[in-house]
Structure 1
């Protein structure tokens, strides 16, 4: 049999005396339970909740390690990652037998076997492991057992009946850091040898050999089972391992690592000997790193360097943009401060054309014609709208259920604290019976919503939201089947219903802390397998070996493996000093909320609706809300947490810098080489060794940006190993009075039968939504606005040893700096829970229906065409037909109104009643009522606004309309603030008492706070918004037209305000059809919406362009005019006669001879595409 030998990383902590270190991330020995022998409650004073077993950050050391050598081995990276497969995701099972062999100067001194998956009730040397699910319970009746046992190899009896975990994984009982943190797993993936205390002698070594006791769980065998002859490629692709080219196919895998001791004179880790650590805070890792470099590198200002580096970071998002690069960069930086969350789905229909293949004939002329004429059936538009509405309602109901389940868990958590108070003599908690009654009421509400929502896909008959969704889907499928069997089939096309991701919500990023200096050196234990290899694969050996079925077989396997391992080898390491592998970051921060109008310290403790608008301004062209002044209030808002550390963004930024320099510094260098007759340097060679090019550019280059980036690269290359970054994980949840941490299952092991039955009902309704525990003693800050001060930071390594970071020299980016408070970090307004600015175009044919995506569904209600020569606004219907003009003249019949003149052959004599589209009627009526002066002001406003709009025009779709005017689309849009889940509620004990006595929950009315939204972007060439009306009700545009240019020039407050509990604001927008609508709030990423080409292409082509022509001196017999030729279009002459309008298409040019008879005519010239006839 051949085995694949996979290297593992072994480290040792050597102690002269017992030492206290950070304890495990969960101490299950504190759980309450009922002793099955005595029937007595054990730890009856403790509730069965997560805070009982979870240590608080910065707690005193919770684990004592004995003197001697403590070994901790890291599992191969491939066995620590979640694997996605056809049947979902799983965490690989890991080896559960580990042979530890101690040798000195080549002679074996001892052998031990670590049985990693063995459970016991009395072996207290194992780690406490919770009993739940498929974990076998013990005879002691405790809710935990001890996992892991170490025995001398000679005493190992493979036939001994032992309780075992069904599957052992790197995540253990569900903690991602289970295997990475020695206090969690010291008896599972670790070993303690008390024989050598203090500094071990040179020549001492430990070998660690691991294998699967159950070969059916072997991850390599599972991968190779379906690999066939390509087994080496399968190992490389799926596990990141490289087997020798000439090796036989292995039957199973083993893990092997060796640690040899050659102690230095000073065994203190040099990383901690001079552990001065810098701290920088940003909205993301790149921003924090830019703040560090801006304050570190000489000759540059922090602000300019931050701008330069962040421009590099978002260059990929902007490289295809040709317009508005500056504001695009600002938006990219702002959006990077959020994490997107996709919630729900949407449906659309697309046409899938059958393409010609060798087995199918090409399209016939008839099929080509049918395909050109093919359109979806008209009824499909309404059916698809109904499907999307049903889907949205079902998705929203499911998100509401999720929020209510999380709220129920927080309430049940408080119920447990009331039922098992820390001090029974205190009367500070509500009555458990009252809380239970409240929970029953909450469960009834949740049950009613669950019953209305239903389960998708729906089964049987019913009227739940799931059933309505299924029926809407069936109606669309039936419509598509009918068209696909008839007209679409004749065009060899199939209409397909497609599910696409729904709109994204955004969660604000938690502040990111960048740690620099030697103590912040990332560990090479985790995520570094194969990093030193050119192909990035971990080199493995394949060796012949026997099955380790008994002690002799284990020794034989070790002998075979150890024989082929000699340094240099990735499995062999030399111990010279104490290790330092940072794993966890503990943090403590103080939040200073903006005081004026807030909910902290005010008498009624409710937010003022103007909290944001009074304290912050959304200035023109800015994507962030800026403080108007004032100072954050001093409030007792101290939060803390523990999070897993990760390497920072430095290597990514290094590559971006080199890529940019290859287009600047390298180009100049190669130009000099070619001028000297030498071959240029390739970009690959430059990135591999850039020093010579950068030195040359420092001496000869002329672009200061390239020189600055060269300096940045040198600094990053020299210090890339001395930095770690991590967000303050859980900070947003802490602002909502919640703690994000692993929680216990919903249970009440000490309760009476009725209590346990009640808890079972609660558990059934909560499901898996038990990740957030309430923090009733914190403050409620659902709007994250103010400033932050980091009070404490502590790094914890894999053995639980700690290093406290000095935060006295903390830095932040220039954009996050608080005046006169150099150690504070400004926090612009954010909603602490996920939300989105919902901007959507509305169907012109309805009132509130959104677009379906079909060509027949358009947001264009009509068109306005400024006719400056006539001093009028021409009104066109959605298809481009000219209805008439509103002139800047008083109507003789209504002097306070503007004059309406119908277009030739138009039957629209009164636009307020005769125009078919009601929204176009509203616009025309508003213009008429604004009077002659109002129309004149509108013409001026449109002219000035259009001068700042120059969007891209893909395909040249503007048509002939631009020859004599720029058409303006009349569209409707809707903007709202949409939360992902129900609003967060206050968790304070006194508030909870009040909530139990009323129908609603306390939110401090943060849902009524109004956030400004800037519609349009004056000066942004790609933004097409010229102005808009904020509708007061259907048919009522309100008194004010909001000119985007005027709003921007005056830096006026936005007339559009949204809130979580405020209804959507509907707008009627005047839009350049080629530009987009941008909605900027500052509190969330900017959203945009634009017309699809099919919404305006045909209308612009049909749009007849006319201008008055008077007086015209021409032949008395016929009209002859000198007109320019326009390809694809034809001129027409129109004039009014007593009989009505008459016209001549394509009037002749004047003759060279002077006509015998002349006359003066008055009329209009119209240019329209050929084939449309005359008006």
Structure 2
């Protein structure tokens, strides 16, 4: 099994970045004396975690070896779920015995044994390691011990020692444990002090052999144990991504051996100072995503293109499949997708729906085929409308339970933050006791919080609930049982007849959104991605790591003696020498050609400047102004992003400096390269192959392009009619030429820092030096926190829960696998055109975002149930009714939700009430007066429109027509052809618009604020939940948006005074009339919507959301929609009307209605005029109507 060996040569001692944590600073009680050790240090992570840019580890002169583990031993695997919970996450054990052999050019050898799992209490070069429950405790009482020891092979196995219970690549749970030498220098590394000031000679060689001390831990044996006989090579290929030569067969291996060799080459550059140098490609780019930053970089360096064009083109590839699925509104959809890509999602709980499960038509393996009557029964099968009430009640109960659970989690997090403050108060820095609150007061406050949490838990209840009760869990169970009982009844009757069944199913709830933390892209020599990690088999055609199955004359007993291990080393060395003569070079064999550079970490320091007007930095008032965002920013029509108001410099002079550390990634380049090539191998490749076929040439195949995409790229570059193809080809080639010069990562922890929190590895909740009361409090808090203790407070900062302002990069440092730091030049960072600031070219705009998870909800409401969401059943419809402009009769027709014609509002004054428009009921219609319209919301709309008067109604209809002219959905439905004759119906619907955040608000963590919190009931959040964010409902000019206008409803359910039509709002280009906030009540709207279009709600602060009518809500109604024309006078037959009518659709029929006294007489399908002139004529007055043909 090949492993990679790297060597850092230091001529002198060098200070580097230290390990992730210094556990020697943990407090404990000395086991021998019973006294407190390290008194004054708190049992908090901030005592053991180094700060960013801190370098406090001294690497002595000499050669530092560091070997990597095979990728398969560093990957998490999911085991079986237990107890109904989530699947367990496992990590393979790793080899824990390593023989290191140094061979000088003359052949002299020195050998050491590294025992990776050795635990000790004395510092003999081991790294500090926190003990877990299964690890031997030692004799000192410390919560940590030294891990790993190095012995000369001649002294091995040495004195017996304790062993760590389970050694993995993550060590104690740190992702960089094995990858970062300062974390694991004594575990997966070795220091050879034989070469310091004297450079290592040419031909110096290190061989590293690794194995498991116990075969029970061997991952290879665990995998091949599942294989059947000689099939083990395929099993390890499938499970471990390892390969053996094709002629390998026979019995499975007896154990796994790792081997790596590093030879100092004669041409090696023995630079005494490791690290890269700056080159022409070096640069810093900041964006919302890694690929966006890379697109901005390409836009600046590629010839003949503008930055904006290149960014939009490359970012369009992210959603290329979605954009190419339709041609409508491409620019708007691209802008919306780019904006949405700047957010991540956070799970929000679950929702319930009903799915029908049908038996297979052929009966499946056991049943008889489904009969024709059973198929017909399926077509008629539907759940009763009453079940919709049960489903809505179930989802409301689930939502209430999830919301309460989120509040419980928030309360637990607050308790943990206050626990960390308690420890600071109990163990303050020397001489600073008076600077902190009384620890007894803080302890009392913690107990009060735990008591309040208990009340929340009692209200929530546990799931599944036991016995009876009134908790939210009990209510959820009752709602679920009621819905299931109703389904059982249907399944036992009608569904059984159709050989179907209905099932309740859980689906993910609408997720919350959280803004991406800014991403930094580094280019140039310093940003060379490491080929040390995650690259096993990358240079192999099959993508597998090549291994060898060899037979060695070494027994299990030999692996426990120095003599046997020496023989093992000699045998593998001879094999390696033989492999060294082959081509290409085996991955286990490497030459040292210079100081290694494997970037692992990025230390960052940035400065954030918040928006000024209305922020929470005013000493006279620390609450946010509700108009904080709208005062500083505006939402231009058609834009997805909030923009600073042109007339003001919105930034405050007060800045906050934030620092952090994150693991670097090289994924941006391969991801973007893959997107480019995937696009070019679609339509462009088809075009190219059409041309080649027409010219008598063979088309290019996928295999040919895998080997060499050059011909396709050349063809793209030659296409004069589509410059985009040339740009993509140039970009692809640039990425290929500079594949080793870009790294990226988000500024991990930036959002947390804005709300004065830091998510770092936390220590167990204990007070090891405390008195009994303190330890009792620790136990109480530990039970209350229940795993939610991930964020520690950062009190010495500002509270910025609304992320609005600008960012400036102050410092960046790349840290390699040995802890060597390289400071990146940050004098001229660049950003995307979206985030650029013309007056401050090196700053990055931070458009308004909430630094915490939130979501905008835009929901259609049930037309017949006040304020209730749709159930999801066809019987639950959001359509209150329909309006239809009537240009022939100068009116506005009104229809019920089912399509029945109720009447018409004419653009003339009502003779009986001149200030109102004239209403006339439809012939034989169910309504005589507006006040008798059945649907409350439709009735309110008609009353409001009638109250506009003739002129006001005329203006309304004109604007409605103008709005409709700007809507042309891709799928207008089968009724659009009829619109030429009868017009375009408009749906009257109700909408609910809201901004939601899960759980409790984040709170201000400042010490002075906490002092005030100790003496009041609530917690301080600077009123950020009351900040309003503008909402633009509808997108005038976007053909697929069906929003025509809306009324805002009053709290009592009546319509607001003003109707907002999208045409006028777009023309004014002012602030939208709607705003949402976390603490603001839900907005309820009555809207007019083109039925085939979507309704979009844009806030800028969160991704655009949309909703649309389901075809089930309007298909049948539009089919039934009756259109009538007043025909008067008509000269026709005396005994019966005979009329000339336009051709109707097959499913439509003309009818004639005329009054006969107080009643109406209808003639269905009136006959055509006869060819002969009638002998008796009469003048008639009536309605010529086009309605749905009755079905027999």
Q: Is the 8 A contact 2:968 2:1040 kept in 1?
A: yes
Instruction: Please state how far the C-alpha of 1:1126 moved relative to its aligned partner.
Output: 2.1
Alpha-carbon distance between aligned partners in 2 of 1:428 and 1:270, rounded to the nearest angstrom: 45
Q: Is the 8 A contact 1:975 1:1065 kept in 2?
A: yes
Residue 536 of structure 2 is matched in structure 1 by: 529
Alpha-carbon distance between aligned partners in 2 of 1:394 and 1:562, rounded to the nearest angstrom: 64
Residue 1161 of structure 1 is matched in structure 2 by: 1180
Residue 1040 (str. 1) matches residue 1047 (str. 2): no
Alpha-carbon distance between aligned partners in 2 of 1:683 and 1:662, rounded to the nearest angstrom: 8
Q: Secondary structure at the match of 1:647?
A: coil
Q: Secondary structure at the match of 1:998?
A: coil
Alpha-carbon distance between aligned partners in 2 of 1:179 and 1:942, rounded to the nearest angstrom: 66
Instruction: Please state how far the C-alpha of 1:1094 moved relative to its aligned partner.
Output: 1.1
Judged with a 3 Å threshold, the aligned counterparts in structure 2 of structure 1 residues 254 and 476 are, in CA distance, closer, same or farther, namely farther
Alpha-carbon distance between aligned partners in 2 of 1:1152 and 1:784, rounded to the nearest angstrom: 79
Instruction: Please state how far the C-alpha of 1:771 moved relative to its aligned partner.
Output: 1.6
Q: Secondary structure at the match of 1:477?
A: helix
Q: Secondary structure at the match of 1:646?
A: coil
Give the counterpart of 1:352 among 350, 357, 364: 357
Alpha-carbon distance between aligned partners in 1 of 2:1098 and 2:344, rounded to the nearest angstrom: 17
Alpha-carbon distance between aligned partners in 1 of 2:700 and 2:970, rounded to the nearest angstrom: 37
Residue 443 of structure 2 is matched in structure 1 by: 436
Alignment of 1:697-846 (within 5 A): 698=717, 701-846=720-865
Residue 97 of structure 1 is matched in structure 2 by: 97
Alignment of 1:994-1009 (within 5 A): 994-1009=1012-1027
Q: Is the 8 A contact 2:1138 2:1166 kept in 1?
A: yes
Residue 564 of structure 1 is matched in structure 2 by: 575
Alpha-carbon distance between aligned partners in 2 of 1:612 and 1:781, rounded to the nearest angstrom: 13
Instruction: Please state how far the C-alpha of 1:231 moved relative to its aligned partner.
Output: 3.3
Which runs of 4 or more aligned residues in structure 1 lie more than 6 Å from their structure 2 counterparts after TM superposition? none
Instruction: Please state how far the C-alpha of 1:692 moved relative to its aligned partner.
Output: 4.5
Q: Secondary structure at the match of 1:119?
A: strand
Judged with a 3 Å threshold, the aligned counterparts in structure 2 of structure 1 residues 933 and 716 are, in CA distance, closer, same or farther, namely same
Residue 313 of structure 2 is matched in structure 1 by: 308
Instruction: Please state how far the C-alpha of 1:190 moved relative to its aligned partner.
Output: 0.9
Q: Secondary structure at the match of 1:576?
A: strand
Alpha-carbon distance between aligned partners in 2 of 1:1095 and 1:665, rounded to the nearest angstrom: 40
Residue 31 of structure 1 is matched in structure 2 by: 26
Alpha-carbon distance between aligned partners in 1 of 2:869 and 2:691, rounded to the nearest angstrom: 59
Q: Is the 8 A contact 2:385 2:873 kept in 1?
A: no
Alpha-carbon distance between aligned partners in 1 of 2:964 and 2:420, rounded to the nearest angstrom: 59
Residue 550 of structure 2 is matched in structure 1 by: 543
Judged with a 3 Å threshold, the aligned counterparts in structure 2 of structure 1 residues 675 and 515 are, in CA distance, closer, same or farther, namely same
Residue 859 of structure 1 is matched in structure 2 by: 878
Residue 411 of structure 2 is matched in structure 1 by: 404
Instruction: Please state how far the C-alpha of 1:310 moved relative to its aligned partner.
Output: 1.4
Residue 1130 (str. 1) matches residue 1149 (str. 2): yes
Instruction: Please state how far the C-alpha of 1:962 moved relative to its aligned partner.
Output: 6.3
Residue 499 of structure 1 is matched in structure 2 by: 506
Instruction: Please state how far the C-alpha of 1:684 moved relative to its aligned partner.
Output: 4.3
Q: Is the 8 A contact 1:658 1:687 kept in 2?
A: no
Instruction: Please state how far the C-alpha of 1:460 moved relative to its aligned partner.
Output: 2.6
Residue 76 of structure 1 is matched in structure 2 by: 70
Residue 84 of structure 2 is matched in structure 1 by: none
Residue 162 (str. 1) matches residue 181 (str. 2): no
Structure 1 gap segments, 5+ residues each: 1-5
Alpha-carbon distance between aligned partners in 2 of 1:106 and 1:639, rounded to the nearest angstrom: 54
For residues 95-120 of structure 1, what are the alpha-carbon distances to aligned partners after superposition, in whole Å with 9 as ceiling and x for unaligned?
22222222234846122221111211
Q: Secondary structure at the match of 1:407?
A: helix
Instruction: Please state how far the C-alpha of 1:1065 moved relative to its aligned partner.
Output: 0.5
Residue 85 of structure 1 is matched in structure 2 by: 79
Residue 329 of structure 2 is matched in structure 1 by: 324
Judged with a 3 Å threshold, the aligned counterparts in structure 2 of structure 1 residues 664 and 458 are, in CA distance, closer, same or farther, namely closer
Alpha-carbon distance between aligned partners in 2 of 1:734 and 1:136, rounded to the nearest angstrom: 37
Q: Is the 8 A contact 1:961 1:1100 kept in 2?
A: no
Residue 194 (str. 1) matches residue 193 (str. 2): yes
Alignment of 1:347-746 (within 5 A): 347-357=352-362, 359-545=366-552, 546-547=555-556, 548-565=559-576, 566-567=579-580, 568-601=585-618, 603-629=620-646, 630-631=648-649, 632-662=651-681, 673-674=692-693, 676-686=695-705, 688-695=707-714, 698=717, 701-746=720-765
For residues 507-561 of structure 1, what are the alpha-carbon distances to aligned partners after superposition, in whole Å with 9 as ceiling and x for unaligned?
1011111101111100001111111011211111122343334434434444454
Q: Secondary structure at the match of 1:821?
A: coil
Residue 971 (str. 1) matches residue 972 (str. 2): no
Alpha-carbon distance between aligned partners in 2 of 1:43 and 1:509, rounded to the nearest angstrom: 40
Judged with a 3 Å threshold, the aligned counterparts in structure 2 of structure 1 residues 155 and 601 are, in CA distance, closer, same or farther, namely same
Q: Is the 8 A contact 2:119 2:148 kept in 1?
A: yes
Q: Is the 8 A contact 2:119 2:147 kept in 1?
A: yes
Residue 992 (str. 1) matches residue 1010 (str. 2): yes
Q: Secondary structure at the match of 1:272?
A: coil
TM-score (norm 1): 0.96
Instruction: Please state how far the C-alpha of 1:874 moved relative to its aligned partner.
Output: 1.9
Structure 2 gap segments, 5+ residues each: 82-86
Residue 3 of structure 1 is matched in structure 2 by: none
Alpha-carbon distance between aligned partners in 2 of 1:412 and 1:206, rounded to the nearest angstrom: 50
Q: Secondary structure at the match of 1:329?
A: helix
Q: Is the 8 A contact 1:101 1:108 kept in 2?
A: no
Residue 283 of structure 1 is matched in structure 2 by: 288
Residue 875 of structure 1 is matched in structure 2 by: 894
Judged with a 3 Å threshold, the aligned counterparts in structure 2 of structure 1 residues 961 and 313 are, in CA distance, closer, same or farther, namely closer
Q: Is the 8 A contact 1:847 1:1034 kept in 2?
A: no
Alignment of 1:195-274 (within 5 A): 195-197=194-196, 198-228=198-228, 230-245=231-246, 246-248=248-250, 249-264=252-267, 266-268=269-271, 272-274=276-278
Residue 889 of structure 1 is matched in structure 2 by: 908
Judged with a 3 Å threshold, the aligned counterparts in structure 2 of structure 1 residues 136 and 464 are, in CA distance, closer, same or farther, namely farther
672-681 vs 867-876, which moves further: 672-681
Residue 908 of structure 1 is matched in structure 2 by: 927
Alpha-carbon distance between aligned partners in 2 of 1:695 and 1:490, rounded to the nearest angstrom: 64
TM-score (norm 2): 0.95
Q: Secondary structure at the match of 1:946?
A: helix
40-49 vs 1038-1047, which moves further: 40-49
858-867 vs 496-505, which moves further: 858-867
Alpha-carbon distance between aligned partners in 2 of 1:1109 and 1:184, rounded to the nearest angstrom: 91
Instruction: Please state how far the C-alpha of 1:823 moved relative to its aligned partner.
Output: 0.8
For residues 202-238 of structure 1, what are the alpha-carbon distances to aligned partners after superposition, in whole Å with 9 as ceiling and x for unaligned?
2222222222223222222333333335433332232
Q: Secondary structure at the match of 2:895?
A: strand
Alpha-carbon distance between aligned partners in 2 of 1:587 and 1:485, rounded to the nearest angstrom: 64
Q: Is the 8 A contact 2:157 2:560 kept in 1?
A: no
802-811 vs 767-776, which moves further: 767-776
Residue 58 of structure 2 is matched in structure 1 by: 64
Instruction: Please state how far the C-alpha of 1:813 moved relative to its aligned partner.
Output: 1.1
Judged with a 3 Å threshold, the aligned counterparts in structure 2 of structure 1 residues 376 and 664 are, in CA distance, closer, same or farther, namely closer
Residue 181 of structure 2 is matched in structure 1 by: 182
Judged with a 3 Å threshold, the aligned counterparts in structure 2 of structure 1 residues 237 and 857 are, in CA distance, closer, same or farther, namely farther
Alpha-carbon distance between aligned partners in 2 of 1:363 and 1:1128, rounded to the nearest angstrom: 32
666-675 vs 818-827, which moves further: 666-675
Instruction: Please state how far the C-alpha of 1:641 moved relative to its aligned partner.
Output: 0.3
Q: Is the 8 A contact 2:275 2:821 kept in 1?
A: no
Instruction: Please state how far the C-alpha of 1:880 moved relative to its aligned partner.
Output: 1.4
Alignment of 1:1065-1104 (within 5 A): 1065-1104=1083-1122
Alpha-carbon distance between aligned partners in 1 of 2:541 and 2:350, rounded to the nearest angstrom: 42
Q: Secondary structure at the match of 2:913?
A: coil
